[in-house]
Chain A
Amino acid sequence: ACSDKEGAEGAEGEVIKIRMANQVDEGNFLNQGYVKFKEVLEEKGKGQFAVEIYNGGTLVGSDDGIVEALKSGSIEISTSSAYGTANTTGVNGFKLFDMPLLIDNRESFYNLLDGEFGEGLKEEVAKNNNLKVLGFIDLGFYSILNGKKDVSTPADLKGLKIRSSAADLHLDSLAAMGANPTPLSYTEVFTGLQQGAIDGVSTTTPLIYGDRFFEINKHLTLTNHVLLPHVLMINGDLYERLTDEQKSILEEATAEYIKYARELSIEAEKEAVEGMKAEGVTVTELTEDQKEEFKKVVAPVIDKHINEIGKDVYDKAIEELNK
Chain B
Amino acid sequence: MAFTLLTILVVFLITLFVNIPIAIGLAISGMVVVLMEGSIPLSFFVQSTFGASDSFPLLAIPFFILAGEIMSTGGIAKRLIEFVQNLVGSITGSLGLITIIASFIFAAISGSGAATVASIGAITIPYMLKNGYTPAYAASIAASSGSLGPIIPPSIIFILYGVMAGVSIGDMFIAGLIPGVLMAVALVTINYIISKKEGFGGSENFVKQSFWKSLNEAKWALLAPVIILGGIYNGWVTPTEAAVVAVVYSLIISVFVYKEFKVSELMEVFLRAAKVSGTIMIFVSAASFFGKVLALKQIPQYIAMVIADFTTNPIIILILINIFLLLVGMFMETVAAVLLFVPLLLPIVLPLGIDPIHFGIIVSINLSLGLITPPLGINIFIASNIAKIRFEESLKYFFPIFMSLIIILLLVTFIPQLSLFLPELLSK
- Whether A188 and B170, one on each chain, are in contact in the complex, defined by CB atoms closer than 8 angstroms, is yes
Closest to A183 in B: B56
Task: Decide yes or no: A59 and B295 within 8 Å by CB, A65-B47, A184-B238 being known contacts.
Answer: yes
B427 at the interface (CB under 8 A from A): yes
Which among B47, B236, B238, B427 is the interface contact of A216 at CB below 8 angstroms?
Answer: B427
- Whether B295 and A197, one on each chain, are in contact in the complex, defined by CB atoms closer than 8 angstroms, is no
Least distance between A186 CB and chain B CB atoms (Å) = 9
Give every chain B residue within 8 A of A62 (Cβ-Cβ): 51, 54
Task: Decide yes or no: A69 and B47 within 8 Å by CB, A185-B238, A187-B169 being known contacts.
Answer: yes
Bound: A52/B57 CA distance, A:
30
Give every chain B residue within 8 A of A60 (Cβ-Cβ): 47-48, 51
A98 at the interface (CB under 8 A from B): no
A111 at the interface (CB under 8 A from B): no
Which among A58, A72, A73, A187 is the interface contact of B292 at CB below 8 angstroms?
Answer: A58
B43 at the interface (CB under 8 A from A): yes
The residues in B between 286 and 300 inclusive whose CB is less than 8 angstroms from any CB of A are 291-292, 295-296
Closest to B239 in A: A188
- Whether B57 and A185, one on each chain, are in contact in the complex, defined by CB atoms closer than 8 angstroms, is yes
B111 at the interface (CB under 8 A from A): no
- Whether B40 and A74, one on each chain, are in contact in the complex, defined by CB atoms closer than 8 angstroms, is yes
Least distance between A229 CB and chain B CB atoms (Å) = 23
The residues in A between 179 and 216 inclusive whose CB is less than 8 angstroms from any CB of B are 184-185, 187-188, 190-192, 194-198, 216
Give every chain A residue within 8 A of B41 (Cβ-Cβ): 72-74
Bound: A191/B173 CA distance, A:
11
Of the candidate stretches B160-168, B195-203, B315-323, B325-333, the one touching chain A is B160-168
The residues in A between 15 and 63 inclusive whose CB is less than 8 angstroms from any CB of B are 17, 19, 54, 56-62
Closest to B237 in A: A197
- Whether B44 and A69, one on each chain, are in contact in the complex, defined by CB atoms closer than 8 angstroms, is yes
Closest to A61 in B: B51
Which among B54, B170, B295 is the interface contact of A54 at CB below 8 angstroms?
Answer: B295
- Whether B238 and A68, one on each chain, are in contact in the complex, defined by CB atoms closer than 8 angstroms, is no
- Whether B171 and A191, one on each chain, are in contact in the complex, defined by CB atoms closer than 8 angstroms, is yes
Closest to A192 in B: B235
Task: Decide yes or no: A74 and B167 within 8 Å by CB, A17-B39, A59-B292, A197-B235 being known contacts.
Answer: no
A167 at the interface (CB under 8 A from B): no
Least distance between B230 CB and chain A CB atoms (Å) = 11
- Whether B43 and A194, one on each chain, are in contact in the complex, defined by CB atoms closer than 8 angstroms, is no
- Whether B51 and A197, one on each chain, are in contact in the complex, defined by CB atoms closer than 8 angstroms, is no
A8 at the interface (CB under 8 A from B): no
Give every chain A residue within 8 A of B162 (Cβ-Cβ): 187
Number of A residues with CB within 8 Å of any CB on chain B: 30
Bound: A279/B234 CA distance, A:
26
Instruction: Flag B52-88 by CB within 8 Å of A: 1 or 0 each.
Output: 1010110000000000000000000000000000000
The residues in B between 218 and 252 inclusive whose CB is less than 8 angstroms from any CB of A are 233-239
| Residue of A73, A192, A197 ringed by the most chain B CB atoms within 10 A | A197
- Whether B238 and A195, one on each chain, are in contact in the complex, defined by CB atoms closer than 8 angstroms, is no
A278 at the interface (CB under 8 A from B): no
Bound: A9/B181 CA distance, A:
69
Closest to A56 in B: B166
Give every chain A residue within 8 A of B238 (Cβ-Cβ): 184-185, 188, 192, 197
- Whether A1 and B170, one on each chain, are in contact in the complex, defined by CB atoms closer than 8 angstroms, is no
- Whether B57 and A187, one on each chain, are in contact in the complex, defined by CB atoms closer than 8 angstroms, is yes
Which among B56, B296, B427 is the interface contact of A59 at CB below 8 angstroms?
Answer: B296
- Whether B56 and A185, one on each chain, are in contact in the complex, defined by CB atoms closer than 8 angstroms, is yes
Bound: A188/B44 CA distance, A:
28
B426 at the interface (CB under 8 A from A): yes
B38 at the interface (CB under 8 A from A): yes
Give every chain A residue within 8 A of B163 (Cβ-Cβ): 187
Task: Decide yes or no: A190 and B295 within 8 Å by CB, A60-B51, A65-B47 being known contacts.
Answer: no
Task: Decide yes or no: A195 and B168 within 8 Å by CB, A62-B51, A65-B51 being known contacts.
Answer: no
- Whether B170 and A191, one on each chain, are in contact in the complex, defined by CB atoms closer than 8 angstroms, is yes
| Residue of B56, B162, B234 ringed by the most chain A CB atoms within 10 A | B56
Bound: A19/B41 CA distance, A:
13
| Residue of A54, A60, A185 ringed by the most chain B CB atoms within 10 A | A185
Bound: A197/B41 CA distance, A:
42
Closest to A23 in B: B166
Least distance between A3 CB and chain B CB atoms (Å) = 9
Least distance between B158 CB and chain A CB atoms (Å) = 13
- Whether A72 and B426, one on each chain, are in contact in the complex, defined by CB atoms closer than 8 angstroms, is no
Bound: A161/B361 CA distance, A:
31
Bound: A195/B235 CA distance, A:
5
Bound: A191/B48 CA distance, A:
28
Closest to B40 in A: A74
Closest to B428 in A: A194
Give every chain B residue within 8 A of A216 (Cβ-Cβ): 427
Bound: A198/B168 CA distance, A:
15
Least distance between B300 CB and chain A CB atoms (Å) = 8
Give every chain B residue within 8 A of A197 (Cβ-Cβ): 235-238
Which among A19, A61, A190 is the interface contact of B168 at CB below 8 angstroms?
Answer: A190
Bound: A73/B234 CA distance, A:
45
Task: Decide yes or no: A188 and B47 within 8 Å by CB, A1-B38, A196-B235 being known contacts.
Answer: no
Give every chain B residue within 8 A of A195 (Cβ-Cβ): 170, 233-235, 426
Give every chain A residue within 8 A of B56 (Cβ-Cβ): 185
- Whether B169 and A188, one on each chain, are in contact in the complex, defined by CB atoms closer than 8 angstroms, is yes
Closest to B343 in A: A58
Bound: A157/B50 CA distance, A:
37
Instruction: Flag B29-40 by CB within 8 Å of A: 1 or 0 each.
Output: 000000000111
- Whether A194 and B51, one on each chain, are in contact in the complex, defined by CB atoms closer than 8 angstroms, is no
Bound: A192/B167 CA distance, A:
12
Mind listing 6 A-B residue pairs with CB under 8 Å?
A: A59-B295, A60-B51, A61-B52, A185-B56, A188-B169, A194-B427
Interface residues of A (CB under 8 A from B): 1, 17, 19, 54, 56-62, 65, 68-69, 72-74, 184-185, 187-188, 190-192, 194-198, 216
Interface residues of B (CB under 8 A from A): 38-41, 43-44, 47-48, 50-52, 54, 56-57, 162-163, 166-171, 233-239, 291-292, 295-296, 426-427
